[in-house]
Amino acid sequence: MSELLNRKTISIERTAGFPQVRMRRLRRTATLRHMVRETNLQPHNFIYPLFVTHGHNVRIPIEPMPGQFQVSINHLLDEVAEAESLGIPAVLLFGVPSKKDPTGSEAYDTNGIIQEAAAAIKQAMPDMVVITDVCLCEYTDHGHCGVLTDEGLVDNDSTLDLLARTAVSQAQAGADIVAPSAMMDGQIAALRSALDGAGLTDVPVMAYASKFASAFYGPFRIAAESTPKSGDRKAYQMDNANSREALRELEQDALEGADFLMVKPALAYLDILAKARERFDLPIAAYNVSGEYSMLKAAAANGWIDLDAAMMEMLTSIKRAGADLIITYFAKDAAKLLRAGG
């Protein structure tokens, strides 16, 4: 028995290979480390989310998200131009409407804020990819992502028609990609068929396929003024404890015709992202959400963390886990660092 154990120990040592194998050899200099780096962030990996509101010369700081603003279209164009100059290929637009009502009608109004913003960007910067969020929560007076039944529940099937109308009106205004985020069953199929029916067969759908009910959305809800007036979104967004269910959601959206799959949030869900990467060949996006941004900004403001280093480490982890594209409020900051060789 003891001889057996001994033999096992010896073979493990041989397999391990030390002292011939020394992992530190390839970490010795910055150049060597760069040569063997497996994951490299690029500005074209980023999608920059922006909050657009009515009016002129409006630029309201979003308190829990330092560096982010609600902007009117004239300032939006400045933001988008800066993003373009940094090599960021796409922006994701969220609208703050002039009025809210039970059915979120500004979401699918031809003169809605998103429709106007998409048209303005495409006119000024035709190469910039404009992605529009398709949901009702910013536009409903109750703050839920769909229309409510008499009992106050979110009605899946009657919401689908409004989401489809929203997507078609955004695409007709100039949106290059529509991104449904309401977590209604059948929303990808509903959008695809409505887009195709309107002759918009070339407009891809980026599906918020596995979107979890998350505390990390808190700062966004302040930014987009979309906190539900009552209850929460757990009856349609996913339980954060579930991984197999996330894969079913991703698969369902792929089957319904999604062109991109998204995992949201990113940081607390890197395992989902890694599994999604293994299972699906579609481009995968991850949403580095507001709470993930605010945490770093708050810690940095207190002098508790090196913001640039932590930001790059966070973004690299999301790409390493499997994301092709990262939707992030850090897009401009990270692109600037990358351009500077950081």
Q: Which residues are annotated as catalytic? A: 211, 264
Based on CB atoms, which residue is closest to Zn ion, 130 or 145?
A: 145
222 Cβ contact partners less than 8 Å away, ≥ 6 residues apart: 62, 63, 64
Burial of residue 52, with CB atoms counted within 10 A of its CB: 0-12 exposed, 13-18 middle, 19 or more buried:
buried
Q: Nearest approach, Cβ of 146 to Zn ion (angstroms)? A: 8
Based on CB atoms, which residue is closest to Zn ion, 133 or 176?
A: 133
Q: Nearest approach, Cβ of 175 to Zn ion (angstroms)? A: 17
Q: Nearest approach, Cβ of 132 to Zn ion (angstroms)? A: 13
β partners of residue 205: 178
Cα distance between residue 246 and residue 227, in whole Å: 24
Measured at the alpha carbon of residue 187, what is the angle toward residues 123 and 115, in degrees to the nearest 5?
20
Residues lying near Zn ion in the complex (CB under 5 A): 135, 137, 145
β partners of residue 129: 90
Q: Nearest approach, Cβ of 211 to Zn ion (angstroms)? A: 9
Based on CB atoms, which residue is closest to Zn ion, 43 or 104?
A: 104
Q: Determine the distance from the C-alpha atom of residue 116 to the mean position of all C-alpha atoms in its chain, rounded to a whole number.
A: 22
Cα distance between residue 106 and residue 294, in whole Å: 29
Cα distance between residue 214 and residue 230, in whole Å: 16
